[in-house]
Structure 1
Amino acid sequence: MPTKLSLNVRSFPRVSSQDTRRATIFAFLAWLFAVYDYILFGMLLPPISDHFGWSVATASLVSTLVTVGTAIVALAVGPIVDRIGRRRGMILTVSGTALASAASALTPGISYLVGIRALGGLGLAEQAVNATYLNEIYAVTEDEKIKKHRGLVYGLVQGGWPLGVLFASAFVAIFLPLVGWRGCFLLAVFPAAVIALARRGLKESPQFELEMRLRKMRKQGQVEQATTLAREYGIDEHPTAPFAAIFRGRALRTTLVLGLAWPLNWFGTQIFIVLGTTVLTEGKHVSFTGSLVMLILINAVGYLGYIFHGWAGDRFDRRAVIAVGWLISGVMFALTMTIASGTFAVVTFYSLGMFFLVGPYAPLLFYMGECYETGCRATGTTFLNALGQPGAILAGLITTAMLAAGVSWNQSALLVGAGGVFLSGLVMFGARTVKKLDD
């Protein structure tokens, strides 16, 4: 960053192609293993339940309580990252993933499991921190190809979600008989720890470096100089606390609309992804091993959804791409739980539902970053990201109540999962269209 105030300064320092690509690769790997840890709990819930002798309703309640803890931790990440920086925030999230995996392997019972799995909120916040950091890096990168196709490139990064689920499915299928569910958690520690160490070499984004410089100037009493410098870069001259900033001005509409759409969409995420093995075993009467094989195929198709929607988000209105995708997903999952019968039909409709459920998150995470200013960008994206957890909590409570009342898994997944996804698509049409960060 320049050290002298200059009225000629109008743009941020450029980030080299090498640094941009390194940041992209580490973001992808960190997200993949964060998802592996996060999804692993849901995948292993049936054998964990068998180990402790839990009923179906008890297992659903445990999953819901874990989600509550995850939400609390994830909500705290945004303000922290807007305070300590993107690079340090990325180290924090992936370190939390490694710790959560290691501690989960030592689970003695419900209370400990619920408490320790709350650390999964750090891993879940990974995608929001990635979106914040890469949004800022791609806006000033020297790599014109990435800058021009950043939605598509971020789609490849965000594709760590279905690949993480796919990886977890394959890993459980192979290693569960060999090392048990505790061993599966332990095997997730090493890669996350390595990535946390490797991320120390990443550079901070120029936008946040400027933010830190402005804060230092104001703290030293150079308020007028800070205001002038902020004006040169076209950013907010009178910043408020990050959390307050996402509820004022142009940011308010984004916070309110996505604050409703995201939890509704997580009804489907909780049912069809986190509890995917349970839906297939209890709802479609597939064997546990068969459900793992199906989820491998289904999530491979889901990864293609990220690529497609990332590309579409670069060419069309990101908001519309997200909304239409979720509407189609709701329909596909509804067909899965109603007319689909037999392996081919279940895999086909489930895969299409996954394609249009997870794929829109590629443009969504980038869209959110474009909606918020630098000073509150991490807070805004992680706040909305964390709101998925209240949606998952509510979905879990409703599903638990329905199961306890004798409603089948098929009907519960249809009403809660498919219905929530479809409604989230409708709500997204209320969001505003925004310009790209460098427009």
Structure 2
Amino acid sequence: MTNTHMVHDKVSTRDIRRSTIICMIAGIVAVFDFILFGTLLPRISESFSWSTSQALLVSTLVSVGTAVVLFGIGPLVDRLGRRRGMISTVLGTAVSSAATAAVTGGVSMVAVRSVSGLSLAEQSVNATYLNELYNAAEDEKVTRNRGFIFSAVQTAWPLGALTAAGFVAVVGSLLGLDQWRWIFLIATVPALIVAYWCRSLRESPQFLVQNAARETGVGGEGSISTIFKRTYLRNTIVLSLAWLFNWMAIQTFSVLGTTVLEVGKGFSANNSLMIVVVSNLVAMLGYLAFGWLGDRISRVKIISFGWLIGAALFTAMLAGPDDTAFVLVTYMAGLFFLLGPYAAVLVFQSECYPTECRATGGAFAFAMSQPGAIFGGLLLSAATGLGWSYGSAALAVGAGSCLLSGLIMFSARTITAPS
């Protein structure tokens, strides 16, 4: 590829620091909006008099719309640039929050919340942008430890989730949770501020080199077609399947974690909620640990082994005794090994493709998380509908898919980080 033979400018330590801080805050804001919808869905359902099945249908259709947005964002970022991609995703978060406050029913809710796919896409765009900056850093320590540095940015996910929970608790106590429209409207403000702040980001030097080549008529192939060419096809398939199966596990043990603990293991609602809150802190430690390990060991190996160990721990939790201490330890440790590898996955994805299709490849694989979430929920519903206990269903769907994702990742090809 032409861009790998061209020299680009080095990025100063000051630019690295500023971009890292801005992108981390942008990540918190994006996750905040994404989590807010799930947290307030019961109140939204009540206001529109939706049945449980209607609410589930809306949530499922939103996931479909989110996947469509995720598939589309990658080629745009490869064409328009990483800086514009960051601005667009955070601005999309603001638009999604504001528009949610004005919805009139299920159809408009699906349309509006599909735009929130930009909130989720921010994570992929963030990874593409920052890893290009880190690899072009003038300080070699940044380049050598880019996985660990990015893992700190990745803690935006649990921090965003905790911020959303705290925001709902505080604002809900003041206004009442039935005033969910005001909650979404208030949430628009920080997103707009951060979107404006993103304007100060510098474009990645790799994209500038690639864009200059494109303008001279060199390297003008479409980014979508490139990720399916022989050189990159293997990783495109492997990463897509890994995201799909692993998000079935995410759906089971993270999104529906309280249900697993309450129905599957007999925990009380309060204890289950407390454990899930603490699990976000465990996720932060997992990101940092796997980010650090990925800089020192093959990223593919630590991702694969992490998910295999996670599958074993969740199996032990579900098949083992209902003892509080045993469930607590195995569940927390399971989340550590399920969630932690994502810090390495997003860095690895940036090492799988050249500049002209890097955002497209990462976004395409990331988009497969949404079908995974949908299939995971449907399979759990089908299994329990056939008479399986919830624990058995979670074991087969959650632990089983986590195991498969770990085995699949072994087939990924380690590629030298792009210049």
Tell me the TM-score normalized by structure 1: 0.87
Q: Deviations over 1:251-290 (max 9, x none)?
A: 1110011121110011012233333344445544555554
Q: Deviation of residue 337 (structure 1)?
A: 3.4
| Identity, % of aligned positions | 48
Q: Deviations over 1:123-174 (max 9, x none)?
A: 1111111111112111111233322211100111112112222323333344
Match of 1:248 in 2: 229
**1:126 and 1:297 mapped to 2: Cα distance?**
25
Partner of 1:250, secondary structure, is helix
Find 2:177's aligned residue among 155, 180, 187: 180
Q: Deviation of residue 50 (structure 1)?
A: 4.9
Cα pair distance change 1:422/1:171, threshold 3 Å:
farther
**2:388 and 2:46 mapped to 1: Cα distance?**
22
Matched, 1:199 2:184: no
User: Gaps (5+ residues) in structure 1?
Assistant: 1-8, 219-225, 227-237
Q: Is the 8 A contact 1:42 1:275 kept in 2?
A: no
Q: Deviation of residue 239 (structure 1)?
A: 4.7
Cα pair distance change 1:273/1:116, threshold 3 Å:
farther
Q: Deviation of residue 320 (structure 1)?
A: 0.4
Q: Deviation of residue 436 (structure 1)?
A: 2.4
Deviates more, 1:118-127 or 1:409-418: 409-418
Q: Is the 8 A contact 2:313 2:330 kept in 1?
A: yes
Q: Is the 8 A contact 2:354 2:418 kept in 1?
A: no
Deviates more, 1:336-345 or 1:93-102: 336-345
Q: Deviation of residue 57 (structure 1)?
A: 4.5
**1:408 and 1:60 mapped to 2: Cα distance?**
21
Partner of 1:188, secondary structure, is helix
* Aligned residue type for 2:329: T
Q: Is the 8 A contact 1:46 1:278 kept in 2?
A: no
**2:113 and 2:86 mapped to 1: Cα distance?**
19
Q: Deviations over 1:303-351 (max 9, x none)?
A: 0000000000000000001001111112223333343635544433222
Q: Is the 8 A contact 1:309 1:362 kept in 2?
A: yes
Matched, 1:329 2:328: no
Matched, 1:353 2:334: yes
User: Gaps (5+ residues) in structure 2?
Assistant: none
* Aligned residue type for 2:161: V
Matched, 1:29 2:25: yes
Q: Is the 8 A contact 2:75 2:359 kept in 1?
A: yes
**2:191 and 2:263 mapped to 1: Cα distance?**
32
* Aligned residue type for 1:169: A
Tell me the TM-score normalized by structure 2: 0.91
Cα pair distance change 1:432/1:101, threshold 3 Å:
same
Q: Is the 8 A contact 1:166 1:295 kept in 2?
A: no
Deviates more, 1:404-413 or 1:243-252: 404-413
**1:21 and 1:123 mapped to 2: Cα distance?**
23
Find 1:418's aligned residue among 399, 403, 410: 399
Match of 2:93 in 1: 97
Number of residue pairs the alignment of both structures matches? 412
